[in-house]
Structure 1
Amino acid sequence: MTAPAGLGALRPMSLEQVNSLASLTMRACRKYIAPADLLTGLVERLEPDFGVLSDGERTSFRYSSTYLDTPDLLTFRHHRQERRRRFKIRTRTYLDSALTMFEVKLKGGRGATDKQRVPHDGRPGELTAEARAFLGRTLRDYGADVPGALLPVATTDYRRSTVVAFSGRERITCDSGLVCSYGGHSAAMRPDLVLLEVKTLEGTTDTERLLHRLGLRPVSFSKYGAAVAVMNPGAGANRWRRPLRLCFDRL
């Protein structure tokens, strides 16, 4: 899977520039499932006001996330039930740079997401002593207990391109080639679709208004939820059923 068409027209930006403009680790995030061929026209509209993350050679980067959960899928169930206070635990590896981070995603007030992370020296999905200590501090500050018997449960692999508004108010990621793995089985997202995530500190953005005019609406979609639900239809993930049926031929 190559970079989405048209991104080369945007001004290249380094990771340092992207983070200085719009790190948005505490953010509202809305997701859209879009036809891949829609992106060329979308990028043309974005070109005057957005840049694209680039390392000089690539604008599309390989990601691999391993999610940790209890044997009875506590964090999955809390997410499925839309608990007001919930969290996800994972390691994320940036395969092109061989960097791995340990991350805790907390659901904050008014539905905002707060992502806390530290460098990870262990294997993907390994709960090292340092990671457990960080998890304990993060969840204690959040007012939650650390779940017992955390294990690596599911993985998601995909390619991501990131575009950022020069104003710093908006960051858009475009994920393609998503492969979800759970219980020894894998499923790939349809290649003619991409997952867009619009991250902002504010309300509906101009990009989203454009997506709405093109007939797209936000969807409830979780990569971890997809990894469990696609391979285990009995997991009770009805709230994701419609987007998962659209994305995965397996359902």
Structure 2
Amino acid sequence: MTQHLRTSHLAAITLDELNAAAGLLTRIDRKYLLPLAAAQDVVNSLSGQARVLRIDGLRNFAYASTYFDTPELDSYLLAARKRRRRFKVRTRSYLDSGLCFLEVKTRGPRGATVKKRMPCDLDDADRITADGRRFVAECLSLAGTCSPTRAAAVAEDLVPVLRTSYERSTLNLPAAGARLTVDTGLLWTAVGPQDSDGLGEATASVGDLAIVETKNPATPSPADRLLWAQGHRPAQISKYATGMALLHPQLPSNKWHRVLGRELADQRHAGPGSLASAA
């Protein structure tokens, strides 16, 4: 059963207020992987500085994402090889509200994450429409990730390869113009040719760990400094790339070796005959 972050002691903020205060589509991201109890301690320590997102009385929200890659796994391999001009394409579904967006992430100056998105139907969460492919191509080209011709080819080749589901709490740190998210109950499920024979789906999870992510305009936020003071350091973890490496051990994964070999070492599961059970 998913354990929930407790945020009832925090003042609330609406979605409109959060976006006005810290939209942060271009930002510096840092991720930390820690036990939920430690994440709760961090949130408790920020109670005088943070406000929690509340929508229709809810403070924890169910998310789902489908990640897309080329058959050659260009997106994954660019990340694994630490290429600067890398990209990520996914749909993100906000299950409590029924909203869905197609999102493209690229790298900006000084390692900043640049995210662009367009609304899409929830029924299209596992596919990219023709309009969506044009949007992806435009984003990759304008970001300088690849040439316009290559961007169009990449967008045309994209297929679903991974699904995730989790619960998220989002905090605003108004004095710093920053956000803090805490994700719990993360589950990865493989998608693609390896599952087409009906032998079972490979899955992996973070178990009882929480993924804490700080999203800052430039300088580290009070949340980062608090995490560092408590002995936590940023972890090399990506919901897409780490999930792919867990589910497909044959992929190059040196970038995530530490987290795969320690915190997530025993988190891979599988249906009969799937890739993970054969590893």
Identity of matched residues, %: 35
Measure, in 2, the Cα distance between the counterparts of 1:2 and 1:20.
30
Q: Which residue of 2 aligns with 1:249?
A: 266
Q: Which residue of 2 aligns with 1:3?
A: 4
CA deviation map 1:199-235 (0-9, x unaligned) = 0012222221111111100111111112211111110
Q: Secondary structure at the match of 1:52?
A: strand
Q: Which residue of 1 aligns with 2:198?
A: none
Displacement of 1:39 = 3.0
Q: Secondary structure at the match of 2:110?
A: helix
Q: Which residue of 1 aligns with 2:230?
A: 214
Amino acid at match of 1:159: E
TM (norm. structure 2) is 0.85
Measure, in 2, the Cα distance between the counterparts of 1:66 and 1:160.
16
Q: Which residue of 1 aligns with 2:207?
A: 190
Alignment of 1:42-121 (within 5 A): 42-121=42-121
1:169–1:202 contact (8 Å) kept in structure 2: no
1:190–1:249 contact (8 Å) kept in structure 2: no
TM (norm. structure 1) is 0.94
Measure, in 1, the Cα distance between the counterparts of 2:67 and 2:44.
35
> For structure 2, which runs of at least 5 residues remain unmatched after alignment?
195-200, 269-279
Q: Which residue of 2 aligns with 1:162?
A: 170
The alignment yields a C-alpha RMSD, in angstroms, of: 1.5
Higher Cα Rg, which structure: 2
2:87–2:106 contact (8 Å) kept in structure 1: yes
2:202–2:247 contact (8 Å) kept in structure 1: yes
Give the 3 Å change call, closer, same or farther, for CA 168–203 of structure 1 in structure 2. closer
Give the 3 Å change call, closer, same or farther, for CA 2–36 of structure 1 in structure 2. closer
2:68–2:161 contact (8 Å) kept in structure 1: yes
Measure, in 1, the Cα distance between the counterparts of 2:42 and 2:140.
39
Q: Which residue of 2 aligns with 1:153?
A: 161
Q: Secondary structure at the match of 1:217?
A: coil
Displacement of 1:2 = 4.5
1:22–1:168 contact (8 Å) kept in structure 2: no
Return 179-188 or 95-104, whichever deviates more. 179-188
2:70–2:158 contact (8 Å) kept in structure 1: yes
1:155–1:227 contact (8 Å) kept in structure 2: no
Displacement of 1:9 = 0.7
Q: Secondary structure at the match of 2:157?
A: coil
Measure, in 2, the Cα distance between the counterparts of 1:250 and 1:10.
32
Q: Secondary structure at the match of 1:47?
A: coil
Q: Secondary structure at the match of 1:173?
A: strand
Measure, in 1, the Cα distance between the counterparts of 2:217 and 2:258.
27
Measure, in 1, the Cα distance between the counterparts of 2:267 and 2:12.
37
1:159–1:176 contact (8 Å) kept in structure 2: yes
Give the 3 Å change call, closer, same or farther, for CA 237–243 of structure 1 in structure 2. same
Q: Which residue of 2 aligns with 1:25?
A: 25
Amino acid at match of 1:215: G
Return 210-219 or 37-46, whichever deviates more. 37-46
Displacement of 1:248 = 4.8
Return 9-18 or 35-44, whichever deviates more. 35-44
Measure, in 1, the Cα distance between the counterparts of 2:233 and 2:170.
20
1:201 matches 2:217:
yes
> For structure 1, which runs of at least 5 residues remain unmatched after alignment?
none
